[in-house]
């Protein structure tokens, strides 16, 4: 596949590994923010190409992991309502709430459908005027344009049977919360390239200046991640704290102004609760007044206090990069993909699931 396969070249990856080994003289802790980057790192074994002193911490860039239990419960409740077609990205189907997940809602008779794009849910609403179509709008800024155009299109078409259950979150406030937390060990960031393709670099320049951390805009293929690592480690070795963008093939400095305009037209910034972290002000998106009619929580009168997470689940600590999944006492015993305690084990992107699925043969045999 063009503009994809080239960035998985084994020989070039090995050369990057050698370059990095030459650059690193001290231990460093670097966080890759995005769950998709975590997935790529574990799948291709990129962390094994880094020198022993470099610790990669997996950040909160997985909307599945950070969506609070209360919102999952609302999703499940809506999905079980007769007359509702509940649409979602595949990622969300196995995330446990307190009363089961969307799979169990389907087993109980709910019409739950996996869609590829939010606009597919709009098409379903057009095709089934007698049903209420609800789309579970999760995601970071990368997904916001897709979610926004679905609402804008539904409004344009005059649809009354379409709504969004909004769980949109923003990356910079989460990164800030991590850098600000006592005990933070993250010294450099591999920033999420596709989020920044939408938002542009500016929020990360602010973060870098405020917290004096080097931030490198990083892509998702092995070579992109290795280049990001090479650059952030060089900055750390040289004592610099700047924003660099090697992922220029996809990321413009100003992001995508049309996408940002669309997001601003449809959404407004709101506080959001993050699973395991708690509420962060101005960290999410909600439907603005002009489009409130498409808000499922308002439409269906859903409200209520947040439910409690399983006490044993260390999602919060893992998501902040304070704990490695393998350090969690429940990992691999009480908590596995078959019976997950929390979202990071459920989501294919979640740190814990990633560690489980891509675990090392040597480590396994020794266990």
* Integer Cα distance of 119 and 46 in angstroms: 35
42 contributes a contact to another protein by CB under 8 A: yes
Q: Which of residues 59, 96, 139, 276 is near another protein by CB under 8 A?
A: 139
112 contributes a contact to another protein by CB under 8 A: no
97 contributes a contact to another protein by CB under 8 A: no
Task: Tell me if residue 285 falls in helix, strand or coil.
Answer: strand
Identify whether the C-beta of residue 200 lies closer than 8 Å to the C-beta of residue 253: yes
Phi, psi (deg, nearest 5) at residue 167: -135, 30
Tokens of 126: 């057009």
Query: Strand 267-274 relative to strand 278-287: parallel, antiparallel, unpaired?
Result: antiparallel
Site string for another protein, 64-93 (x = CB under 8 A): x----------------------x-xxx-x
**Residue number with CB closer to another protein (143 or 235):** 143
Task: Tell me if residue 147 falls in helix, strand or coil.
Answer: helix
240 contributes a contact to another protein by CB under 8 A: no
Identify whether the C-beta of residue 277 lies closer than 8 Å to the C-beta of residue 314: no
Shortest separation between residue 301's beta carbon and another protein, angstroms: 27
Place of tokens 């993909």: 337
Which range binds another protein by CB under 8 A, 115-123, 183-191, 270-278, 310-318? 115-123
CA angle 318, 203, 24 (to 5 degrees): 60
Q: Which of residues 25, 27, 48, 281 is near another protein by CB under 8 A?
A: 48
Helix (H) / strand (E) containing 139: strand 132-139
Shortest separation between residue 350's beta carbon and another protein, angstroms: 9
Shortest separation between residue 3's beta carbon and another protein, angstroms: 4
Question: Which residues ranging from 324 to 363 are in contact with another protein (CB under 8 A)?
Answer: 337-338, 347-349, 356-362
Site string for another protein, 164-193 (x = CB under 8 A): ----------------------------xx
Which range binds another protein by CB under 8 A, 202-210, 242-250, 271-279, 307-315? 242-250
* Integer Cα distance of 351 and 62 in angstroms: 9
Tokens of 322: 């304070």
Tokens of 61: 């860039």
**Residue number with CB closer to another protein (23 or 185):** 23
Shortest separation between residue 327's beta carbon and another protein, angstroms: 19
Q: Which of residues 30, 31, 44, 294 is near another protein by CB under 8 A?
A: 44
Looking only at Cα atoms, what is the longest distance across the chain?
Answer: 65
Place of tokens 């989460």: 174
CA distances from 16 to 20, 45, 193, 236, 270 (A): 6, 14, 19, 17, 41
283 contributes a contact to another protein by CB under 8 A: no
212 contributes a contact to another protein by CB under 8 A: no
Which range binds another protein by CB under 8 A, 208-216, 224-232, 283-291, 292-300? 224-232
14 contributes a contact to another protein by CB under 8 A: yes
């Amino acid at each position: 596949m063009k503009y994809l396969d080239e960035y998985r070249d084994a020989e070039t990856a090995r050369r990057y590994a050698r370059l990095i080994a030459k650059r690193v003289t001290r231990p460093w802790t670097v966080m890759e923010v995005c769950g998709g980057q975590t997935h790529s790192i574990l799948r291709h074994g990129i962390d094994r190409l880094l020198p022993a002193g470099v610790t990669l911490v997996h950040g909160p860039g997985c909307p599945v992991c950070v969506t609070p239990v209360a919102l999952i419960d609302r999703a499940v409740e809506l999905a079980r309502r007769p007359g509702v077609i509940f649409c979602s990205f595949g990622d969300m189907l196995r995330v446990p709430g307190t009363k089961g997940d969307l799979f169990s809602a389907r087993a109980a008779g709910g019409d739950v459908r996996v869609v590829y794009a939010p606009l597919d849910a709009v098409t379903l609403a057009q095709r089934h005027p007698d049903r209420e179509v609800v789309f579970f709008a999760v995601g970071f800024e990368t997904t916001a344009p897709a979610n926004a155009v679905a609402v804008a299109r539904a409004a344009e078409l005059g649809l009354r049977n379409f709504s969004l259950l909004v769980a949109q979150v923003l990356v910079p406030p989460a990164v800030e919360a991590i850098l600000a937390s006592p005990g933070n060990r993250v010294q450099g960031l591999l920033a999420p390239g596709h989020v920044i393709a939408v938002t542009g670099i500016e929020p990360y320049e602010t973060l870098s200046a405020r917290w004096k951390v080097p931030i490198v805009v990083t892509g998702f293929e092995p070579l992109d991640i290795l280049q990001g690592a090479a650059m952030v480690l060089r900055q750390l070795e040289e004592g610099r704290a700047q924003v660099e963008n090697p992922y220029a093939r996809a990321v413009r400095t100003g992001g995508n102004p049309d996408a940002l305009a669309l997001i601003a037209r449809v959404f407004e910034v709101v506080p959001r609760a993050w699973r395991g972290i708690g509420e962060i002000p101005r960290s999410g998106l909600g439907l603005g007044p002009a489009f409130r009619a498409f808000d499922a929580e308002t439409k269906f009168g859903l409200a209520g206090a947040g439910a409690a997470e399983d006490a044993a689940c260390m999602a919060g600590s893992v998501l902040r990069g304070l704990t490695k999944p393998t350090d969690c006492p429940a990992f691999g015993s009480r908590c596995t993909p078959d019976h997950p305690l929390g979202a990071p084990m459920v989501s294919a992107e979640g740190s814990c699931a990633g560690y489980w699925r891509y675990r090392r043969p040597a480590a396994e045999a020794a266990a």
